[in-house]
Chain A
């Protein structure tokens, strides 16, 4: 057979042979060994661009037909004349073709095919048509490092990694986004987290003594995801965290015992003259009744020494009553921090204007605390006497209205929870509510306020969110209060002082 092959080679090399003789040789070859044939059809497996600048194509050879077979890759490209051969068969390994930066163009179509040839013939593969954009797929991120850090006795896992090795450019040409997954060693339950373009992530929900596995992968410009990085393991230590616990636990226990058995119980919240049960029942007429139960409100005497009226509005956990409030003495009130960006119109309005006033409420000139809060959970209406400041700072997550009168400082906790269900305010008094739908409606005049998504303004007093402010004395306009308080028995949160 070797002899025949040599003979064939010679014929190929240019030694003159008659066509017939050649055919005879071929026939002999094929008879001699039936395994000699043209090559099998190669299969183009696919192409990949890891960084949007170069790409590689791979193929799988078919059976070689018993003869030495050569594979060649040919391509055509949009905006390029003619057919060209692969520029580099080596860099990416065997059965591959590497297109370097000079040969890679994006947003144009490549038409690629591989041809297998041996002495007996050429066989092309099926072609592949693609745009480099479609074949982008980065490599996995590298150097995934895990560090257990301790903060205030609760450990958290800080995961860090590097971008895939070949994507160093910082020119904005590529945008890599990461995703990681974590699981406990003996479970099959991966939890996925997205990290955006950040190359670090902190995981807080970890348990001491457990081994965690972490993997990271990435995508380039919304391309296909890379492979997952090699798994990195970490064991969360549990020894050193326990020591501080012991004394703390003991202390907490002691405090608990003292609170429970030694100290008097904390009184529940109430507003005098308000029937809480009626309020809770949720019917609008009942609520109204509940609120006006006690008709014996103190006369609305203008008090010169009562200056401070303000509402504190905030999102429970983050809310901190700022110091300036405390220092407010004879200033205009209606401080409404956070969420509500009150504008000055409200402040200056006269009572009659107030009712037509459809603008947002505003904070007082001194207390323009614009803190952003994600929700409005409660409001505290506080009346501050001249020198005494009896407002309550409460940061529960539930809402409440803290209504204080001169002597009777009644803190009403939970009232706002009920009030939070006021749906409509049709009158002069409006209360801040949570955004819960409640079928209550008070006979309070409607005020339309505009409200942005982050609750920074009151949109509609008429809607689910209602805010209210400081009632003020009729006739006294420059208090910074947005609504009127009629003295007909509605809950008067603040006996309006006549002040400026």
Chain B
């Protein structure tokens, strides 16, 4: 009888140990997975902004310029001698300074980023990610009726963005649980843009482009923060850096 009991308890202990060991996924692994997702998120949002910038916009710009006579800046400043817009009639695009997430204080260069604590980095990433849940819904529904030749591809990418964003959010929630209470705090960044992006074709496209540029910036922030975190957490694994 006693024999059976000790055997039973031994078995129980072994099982518990195994379960505990199995459940503890190391933080570095979690961070690695999260980084891969955020990388994919950023890649998607970059592709989206490029897809949306098309010569298709040119006739629109002419219309706008004629209607409003505004002076403008080109929308593709980065590439040398690369302009998707004709020299006449460019449109002022709202710049990401007006994004709904711009109130969040984030590091703005490498030194600053390397000085932020791990829990703060995670908290920033989570806050940014959560701020996009609602706008992504708006983008998704607008994408279905977007007056743009690449509408289908854009719509698919937004869908994929939503899925990755959701699973990244879940993963970061798990991570934050393992990193202490400081990592659990999140800033609230509500989106107040309403449910649709505009009534007419032009404003719809412009607002769509604007939101995507905000998303690209924020996805880059999330990706950069998570990768800095991953590198920091994986001291013994230089390939994570």
**Which residues of B sit under 8 angstroms from A197, Cβ to Cβ?**
239
Q: Which of A25-55 contact B (CB under 8 A)?
A: 45-48, 52-53
Residues of B within 8 Å of A, CB-based: how many? Answer: 38
Given contacts A128-B77, A133-B217, contact A106 B97 (CB under 8 A): no
**Which residues of A sit under 8 angstroms from B73, Cβ to Cβ?**
126-129
Contact of A58 with B by CB under 8 A: yes
A131 engages B96 (CB within 8 Å): yes
B77 engages A129 (CB within 8 Å): yes
**Which residues of A sit under 8 angstroms from B111, Cβ to Cβ?**
101
Given contacts A127-B73, A172-B240, A224-B79, contact A107 B110 (CB under 8 A): no
Within the complex, the shortest CB–CB distance from B164 to chain A, in Å, comes to 14
Within the complex, the shortest CB–CB distance from A271 to chain B, in Å, comes to 43
Contact bitstring B74-91, A, C-beta under 8 A = 1, else 0? 100111111000000000
Contact of B230 with A by CB under 8 A: yes
In angstroms, Cα B82 to Cα A133, docked, is 17
Contact bitstring B10-45, A, C-beta under 8 A = 1, else 0? 000000000000000000000000000001001100
Kindly report which residue of chain A lies nearest to residue B44, judged by CB atoms. Answer: A222
Contact of B231 with A by CB under 8 A: yes
**Which residues of B sit under 8 angstroms from A105, Cβ to Cβ?**
108-109
In angstroms, Cα B98 to Cα A108, docked, is 11
**Which residues of B sit under 8 angstroms from A137, Cβ to Cβ?**
78
Within the complex, the shortest CB–CB distance from A452 to chain B, in Å, comes to 17
Interface residues on A, range: 35 or more
Contact of A290 with B by CB under 8 A: no
Contact of B201 with A by CB under 8 A: no
Given contacts A105-B109, A130-B78, A135-B77, contact A173 B217 (CB under 8 A): no
Contact of A185 with B by CB under 8 A: no
Dominant secondary structure of chain A at its interface with chain B: loop
Given contacts A52-B110, A221-B224, contact A45 B81 (CB under 8 A): yes
A222 engages B42 (CB within 8 Å): yes
A107 engages B221 (CB within 8 Å): yes
In angstroms, Cα B80 to Cα A45, docked, is 5
Which single member of B46, B74, B79, B241 contacts A222 (CB below 8 Å)?
A: B46
Contact of A170 with B by CB under 8 A: yes
B220 engages A47 (CB within 8 Å): no
Contact of A91 with B by CB under 8 A: no
Binding site for A on B (CB under 8 A): 39, 42-43, 46, 73-74, 77-82, 95-97, 106, 108-111, 113-114, 216-217, 220-221, 223-224, 227-232, 238-241
Besides A46-B78, A131-B217, A170-B241, 19 other CB < 8 A contacts?
A: A45-B80, A45-B81, A46-B81, A53-B110, A79-B108, A101-B111, A107-B106, A108-B97, A126-B74, A129-B73, A134-B77, A170-B231, A171-B114, A172-B228, A172-B229, A172-B231, A197-B239, A221-B220, A222-B42
